[in-house]
A and B are shown apart, each in its own frame.
Chain A
């Protein structure tokens, strides 16, 4: 038993204390959180826009020919985007954006990661939000329109707040998935949390402790995020009683 604790203490020192290796994980966590936060924001904006285009295309009637044609075009672009993004792995998208799209440009790798993960997340957010919009009874739109609100006003004041509330658990889940997916940032040589653990593993030749600690840190963040989502849900449920 004594020997076991001795070994554990010894490896803890080698993994975290020597050369201040713990800072790799600390800085890695910071980067992971930064990429997740910015990518989530980009994903939400993109996702809401796409969802509104898609559901407007499906539900809106009584349009003049030109707006209808524009809407059809945007809807086509949105569908293509959803198919391509959801049909390919995020790590491949990340590498394409870094090495191909921005291959010839000197651009911050963090920005590339934010763009790649944001565009990826946007596709999933779009489908979540669209299902939320579709789940709102038709009567809500009709009631808004019958009062004289425009389609856009009714969307913003009546439909989206309710849709958002309905899909909040799924959106929370999507952000959690996004956080975990950023762990492939190492493919473009970003030193995020996962990469930090991997670097420690490779220099210390010790796999167990750095990787388990990395896993525990991800788990802690995820539990914290889930807790936040639950609290927000409870607040938004005020009108249901």
Chain B
């Protein structure tokens, strides 16, 4: 990272309360361009919902925010630090970016409580007692306190995803990234997961959500981002986006999905 591409970012971000600034992000897999010229600012407290057809790059974009996909060009500034810079210790910054996956990715060899306390104990240097108390508080909040000593295999999909959400929350993150959190769930379990996310949004958590749940996007999102062919095609407030789509491509997508 050179000095002249860091300092201006720092200043402007502090003044505008921007948590994440994505600049000219590009990701190629060989010949395939998954992301190109992606630019977006995400403010604290915002709920940004990313939608778009499959293969549009929305998951790749989300995963590039915490460098699970390392971009081939461009920058992702998080709290003013460019995470795409290889000399940055990404592990420190990831502690502040919770992530929830489509397939939950709970650790199957650990109990629910262990899943939730491993990182806070090892990385935040919390005492075991403190970490467990925090975990129990979070579990109680999502109605799963009685599952604390079970293994993930004993839980339903919806329960697993709620645990995955509070596991990320246990690190006390600045932002939560959701990668199609309800796509792998049976329909009757979608509601319980969305409910937890709705609560989080209400509390003011900054969230970036990739989802196909249009009703939820419209209700909870503060901004809808529409991606197509690796680019951000449209950004709009939900009421504008869904009622008066400005582009035929979006109207077409909405007709298909709604």
Which residues of A are interface residues toward B (Cβ below 8 A)?
A: 61-64, 137, 139-140, 142-150, 153, 157-158, 161-162, 165, 238-241
State A63–B153 Cα separation when bound (angstroms): 34
Given contacts A148-B123, A162-B108, A241-B153, 10 further A-B contacts (CB under 8 A): A143-B105, A143-B106, A145-B68, A146-B97, A149-B119, A150-B91, A157-B118, A239-B108, A239-B152, A240-B151
| B168 and A165 contact, CB distance less than 8 A | no
- Mask, B95-124, CB within 8 Å of A = 1, is 101110101011111100000001100110
| A148 and B91 contact, CB distance less than 8 A | yes
Residues in A with CB closer than 8 Å to B18 are none
Tell me if B94 is interfacial: C-beta within 8 Å of chain A.
Answer: yes
Picked from A62, A148, A239, the residue with its CB within 8 Å of the CB of B109 is: A239
Tell me if B145 is interfacial: C-beta within 8 Å of chain A.
Answer: no
State A145–B87 Cα separation when bound (angstroms): 17
Q: Dominant SS at the A interface? A: helix
Those 3 A-B pairs whose CB atoms lie nearest each other, nearest first: A148-B95, A143-B105, A146-B99
With an 8 Å Cβ cutoff, the count of chain B residues facing the other chain is 35
Residues in A with CB closer than 8 Å to B67 are 62
Contacts A147-B94, A147-B119 given: A158-B107 contact, CB under 8 Å?
A: yes
Picked from B99, B110, B118, B153, the residue with its CB within 8 Å of the CB of A240 is: B153
Chain A's closest residue to B89 (CB) is A150
Contacts A61-B70, A139-B101, A147-B168 given: A239-B153 contact, CB under 8 Å?
A: yes
Contacts A148-B91, A241-B154 given: A162-B109 contact, CB under 8 Å?
A: yes
| A161 and B105 contact, CB distance less than 8 A | no
Picked from B86, B99, B108, B122, the residue with its CB within 8 Å of the CB of A153 is: B122
Chain A nearest CB, measured from B81 CB (Å): 14
Residues in B with CB closer than 8 Å to A142 are 68, 99, 101, 105
Interface hits, B61-78 → A, CB 8 Å: 66-68, 70
Contacts A142-B101, A146-B94 given: A62-B70 contact, CB under 8 Å?
A: yes
State A29–B91 Cα separation when bound (angstroms): 51
Chain B nearest CB, measured from A154 CB (Å): 10
Residues in B with CB closer than 8 Å to A61 are 70
| A147 and B171 contact, CB distance less than 8 A | yes
State A63–B87 Cα separation when bound (angstroms): 10
Chain A nearest CB, measured from B35 CB (Å): 16
Tell me if B3 is interfacial: C-beta within 8 Å of chain A.
Answer: no
| B107 and A148 contact, CB distance less than 8 A | no
| A146 and B107 contact, CB distance less than 8 A | no
Chain B's closest residue to A165 (CB) is B109
Residues in A with CB closer than 8 Å to B154 are 241
Tell me if B167 is interfacial: C-beta within 8 Å of chain A.
Answer: yes
Residues in B with CB closer than 8 Å to A139 are 101, 103, 105
Residues in B with CB closer than 8 Å to A162 are 107-109
State A177–B152 Cα separation when bound (angstroms): 35
State A12–B13 Cα separation when bound (angstroms): 90
| B151 and A148 contact, CB distance less than 8 A | no
Residues in B with CB closer than 8 Å to A149 are 91, 119, 122-123
Tell me if B92 is interfacial: C-beta within 8 Å of chain A.
Answer: yes
| B105 and A147 contact, CB distance less than 8 A | no
Residues in B with CB closer than 8 Å to A239 are 108-110, 151-153
Residues in B with CB closer than 8 Å to A157 are 118, 122
Residues in A with CB closer than 8 Å to B90 are 62
Residues in A with CB closer than 8 Å to B97 are 146
Chain B nearest CB, measured from A147 CB (Å): 4
Chain A's closest residue to B96 (CB) is A148
State A64–B87 Cα separation when bound (angstroms): 8
